[in-house]
Structure 1
Amino acid sequence: MIITVTLNAAIDKSLSVPNFRLGRRHRTVEQRTAAGGKGVNIARALKTLGQPVIATGFAGGPTGTRIVDQLTEESILNDFVRIREESRTNTAVYDPTNGQQTEINERGPAVSEKELELFRDKLLYLARGADMVVMAGSLPRGVDSDIYAHLIRELRKSDVMTLIDTDGEPLRHAARAEPDVISPNVLEAEELVGHEFNDDEDRIIAVGEMVEQGAREAIMTLEDGCVACVLVDGHAQRFRVSVPTREDVAGVGAGDAFLAGYVAARYSGKSPADCLAYGVACGAESTNHLGAGLVEAREVDRLLSDVEVRALSAPAEVS
């Protein structure tokens, strides 16, 4: 079983608005509303890919009820802690004429210490029957930035694999807690290591730096794939994985689809290189859909033949 954790779950509205301009009135040509938050998006993709998954986190107020109801309608197993304050609503506007995206994410509810303790107990209970726990996304108000780090340490006692996709201080604390995998995007990785990247060589070096901070493995997602430092037969191996650029319908949630694909392949026992390739194919396929966590398994399999995986023995090999 795979568990996904979404502490700041949401209702996500995705709107396609041609020639979007601030300060003007617009009409959508396509729209989609769904339960969201990074962990929820990952759970949705995992369900589509045929993997056993249960989504957990916080859900509050009528919006929280809607989140749970929508997941149930999608036949995604879920077990959320109900909280007093209202869960958030996020809006993403995609302009199909130029490919630009505008995202407006609410801060989310405040969570009390009692509610947080209830969640800890629930997660540790669910983890008894789990192989992997994916913790993803921002934190709601009132939750300390080291919460993921604490959960990682607790889950390690249950011999559960932990994967983290977040940013800022929560990512910094989480990396030091020695999770199995961290998966930031470029901006998140730059913030974590403390400097900008100019090219692939910088990025390949950076995934090694992220591992040095504590994570066993590090994967940095890019627009055309990823760079990674993962374990192969117990030894660190760097990879550059890429897929040809393509015209997107929308790119919101591509990183979530990547991580879902990677987790699905890893849960199935595939090799590290194959896991990365499958993740990249899922991320690329998801850009064909308006809304996060949406993939078509047949199209992912078709895209796999276009994915290039390069194993690198040292950063200096990157051209």
Structure 2
Amino acid sequence: MIVTVTLNTAIDKTLSVPNFRLGRRHRTVEQTTMPGGKGVNVARVLKTLGAPVIATGLAGGATGTRIVDQLTQLSVLSDFVRIGEESRTNTAVIDPTNGEQTEINERGPKVSERETELFIDKLLYLAKGASVCVFAGSLPREVDADIYAHLIRELRRLNVLTVVDTDGEPLRRAVRAEPDVISPNVLESEELVGHEFNDDEDRMIAVREMCELGARDAVMTMPDGCFAQMTPPDRPEPVLFRVRVRAGSIEPRATVGSGDAFLAGFVAARYQGRDHADSLAFGVACGAESTQHLGAGLVDPDRVERLLADVEVERPTLAPQT
């Protein structure tokens, strides 16, 4: 079983608005509304791919009830802790004429110490039947930035593989707890390692630095794929990967949630026992295919399989450190 954790759940609205301009009145030509938050998006893709998954986290108010009900309609198992304050609503506006997207994410509810304790107890219970746990997304108000780090250490005692996709201080603390995999995007990676990247060599150095900070494996998602450093179980030395979709293979329609789709594909492949190269390639195919859909956490498994033929896996090398 795979457990996904979403502490800052949401209802995600995605609007397609041609020629979007600030300060103007617009009408949508298409829109979607679905349960969201990064971990929920990951869970939805995992379910679509046929992987056994249960989504947990915090959900509050009528919005929280709607999130749980919609997951049930999608046949995604869930077990959320109900909280007193209302879960958030996020809005993404996509302009189909130029591909630009604008995201407005609410900061989320305030969570009490007691509600946090109830969630921790629930996760540790669910983890007894799990082999993988994905921590994804931001934290709501009043939740300690150390929570992911604390839970990574707890799940290690249960031999559960931990995967983290967050940013800022929660990510910095989580990395020090030595998770099995982290999956930040480029901006989140720059913040984590403390410097900007100018070229591919900088990005390769960055995934190595993220592993030196504590993560066993590090993946940096890119618009066309990812950079990664992985340590195979049968090799003492880590391996660098550059995985991407061949240029011109697919024209993105909307990129909201593509990183979540990548992570779900990667985790699903790892869960099935595929090696690192195949898992990264499958994740990249899922992330790329998801850009064809309006709304996060949507993929077509048949199209993912066809797109795999256009995914290139390279193993670049870095000059030795001096």
Q: Structure 2-normalised TM-score?
A: 0.97
Q: Is the 8 A contact 1:201 1:316 kept in 2?
A: no
Partner of 2:240: 238
1:200 maps onto 2:204 in alignment: no
Give me the whole-angstrom Cα distance separating, in 1, the residues matched to 2:225 and 2:294.
20
Correspondence for 1:10: 10
* Alpha-carbon displacement from aligned partner over 1:29-82 (angstroms, at most 9, x marks no partner): 110000000000000000000000000000000000000000001000000000
1:132: how far off?
A: 0.1
Counterpart amino acid of residue 277 in structure 2: A
Question: Percent identity, aligned pairs only?
Answer: 73
- Corresponding residue to 2:278 among 274, 281, 290: 274
Q: Tell me the equivalent position of 2:46.
A: 46
Alpha-carbon distance between aligned partners in 1 of 2:252 and 2:30, rounded to the nearest angstrom:
15
1:315 aligned residue: 318
- Distance in 1 between the 2:274 and 2:35 partners? 30
Q: Secondary structure at the match of 1:67?
A: helix
Q: Contact (CA 8 Å) 1:197, 1:203: kept in 2 or not?
A: yes
Structure 1 counterpart SS, 2:198: coil
Aligned to 2:33: 33
Separation in 1 of the partners of 2:219 and 2:147? 21
**Alpha-carbon distance in 2 for matches of 1:62, 1:304:** 40
Q: Which residue of 2 aligns with 1:127?
A: 127
Q: Which amino acid aligns with 1:280?
A: V
Superposition deviation, residue 247 in structure 1: 1.7
Distance 1:269 1:153 in 2: 23
Listed as ranges, the gaps of 5+ residues in structure 1 are none
Which residue of the partner structure matches residue 166 of structure 1? 166
* Partner Cα separation in structure 1 for residue 240 and residue 246 of structure 2: 20
CA offset digits 1:189-244 (Å, max 9, x no partner): 00000000011110001000000000000000000100000012243100000113
Following the alignment from structure 1 to structure 2, what is the Cα–Cα distance between the partners of residues 220 and 135? 16
Residue 77 of structure 2 corresponds to residue 73 of structure 1: no
Root-mean-square deviation (CA), in Å?
Answer: 0.9
Give the AA of the match of 2:241: F
Instruction: Report the Cα distance in structure 1 between the residues aligned to 2:286 and 2:89, rounded to whole angstroms.
Output: 25
**Cα offsets for 1:159-200 (capped at 9, x unmatched):** 000000000000000000000000000000000000000111
Q: Does the 8 A contact of 1:2 with 1:130 survive in 2? A: yes
- C-alpha deviation, 1:316, in angstroms: 3.8
Q: Does 1:116 align with 2:116?
A: yes
Counterpart in the other structure of 1:184: 184
Query: Is 1:303 the counterpart of 2:307 in the alignment?
Result: yes
- What's the CA shift string for 1:113-136, capped at 9, x where partnerless? 000000000000000000000000
Aligned equivalent of 1:284: 288
Match of 1:64 in 2: 64
Code of the aligned partner of 1:295? V
Count of matched residue positions in the alignment of Structure 1 and Structure 2: 316
Report the secondary structure of 1:57's partner residue. strand
Give the Cα separation in 2 of the matches to 1:237 and 1:124.
32
Deviation at 1:273, TM superposition (A): 0.2
Deviation string, structure 1 residues 243-288 (Cα, Å, up to 9, x no partner)? 1343211000000000000000000000110000000000000000
Q: Deviations over 1:67-107 (max 9, x none)?
A: 00000010000000000000000000000000000000001
CA distance in 1, matches of 2:272, 2:303: 19
SS in structure 1 of the partner of residue 294 of structure 2? coil
1:259 maps to which residue? 263
TM-score (norm 1): 0.98
Q: Structure 2: give runs of 5+ residues left out of the alignment.
A: none
